[in-house]
């Protein structure tokens, strides 16, 4: 059982995957990234910007419903408005928007590249609103090395 005011280690393929799951950098083990994140949060989201306050916003942004009806919260935006580091739902898959391409995610790394959709295309966004705002505000996240290797 988790204790109040404690933390749990979470492991993701990369920071982009953690963002789409609705998580921020750890204030302890990734302090420099956390500082950059809070600065971008203040620009993109505004107050609140303490860890507990940000976590409450992130929790509300990532889930909707209650109990057995709880599910991931998604929303729709135009492709051309999205920053690098955002995951979308597309034809049964969940690619990452990265450097003018869509990268197909897998547990072991990114597998294949697809061309971007037209800028006016409406897409279902999987990355929570507040984290998209942080990315728009200039936060540069880390992605798995395979993002630069796929063909």
% of the chain surpassing 70 pLDDT: 91
Location of structure tokens 């109040």: 4
Domain that holds residue 65: 15-148
pTM (2 decimals)?
0.86
For residue 3, tell me if it sits in a domain. no
For residue 10, tell me if it sits in a domain. no
Average pLDDT, the chain: 87
Average pLDDT of span 68-81 = 90
For residue 57, tell me if it sits in a domain. yes
For residue 1, tell me if it sits in a domain. no
For residue 97, tell me if it sits in a domain. yes
Average pLDDT of span 125-129 = 96
For residue 36, tell me if it sits in a domain. yes
Phi, psi (degrees; rounded to nearest 5) at 7: -130, 160
What does the alpha-carbon distance between residue 51 and residue 93 come to, in Å, rounded to a whole number? Answer: 32
User: What's the structural domain count of the chain?
Assistant: 1
Q: State which of 15-24, 56-65, 70-79, 123-132 shows the largest mean pLDDT.
A: 123-132
Q: Does 75 have pLDDT greater than 90?
A: yes
Measured from the Cβ of residue 23, the count of other Cβ atoms closer than 10 Å reads: 17
């Amino acid at each position: 059982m988790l204790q109040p005011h404690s933390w749990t280690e979470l492991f993701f393929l990369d920071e982009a995957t953690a963002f789409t799951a609705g998580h921020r950098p750890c204030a302890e083990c990734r302090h420099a990234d956390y500082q950059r994140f809070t600065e971008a949060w203040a620009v993109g989201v505004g107050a609140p910007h303490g860890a507990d306050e940000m976590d409450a916003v992130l929790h509300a942004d990532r889930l909707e419903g209650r109990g057995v009806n709880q599910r991931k919260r998604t929303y729709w935006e135009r492709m051309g408005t999205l920053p690098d580091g955002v995951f979308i739902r597309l034809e049964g898959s969940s690619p990452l928007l990265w450097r003018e391409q869509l990268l197909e995610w897998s547990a072991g790394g990114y597998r294949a590249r697809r061309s971007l959709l037209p800028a006016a295309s409406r897409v279902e966004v999987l990355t929570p609103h507040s984290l998209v705002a942080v990315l728009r505000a200039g936060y540069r996240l880390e992605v798995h090395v395979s993002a630069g290797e796929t063909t």
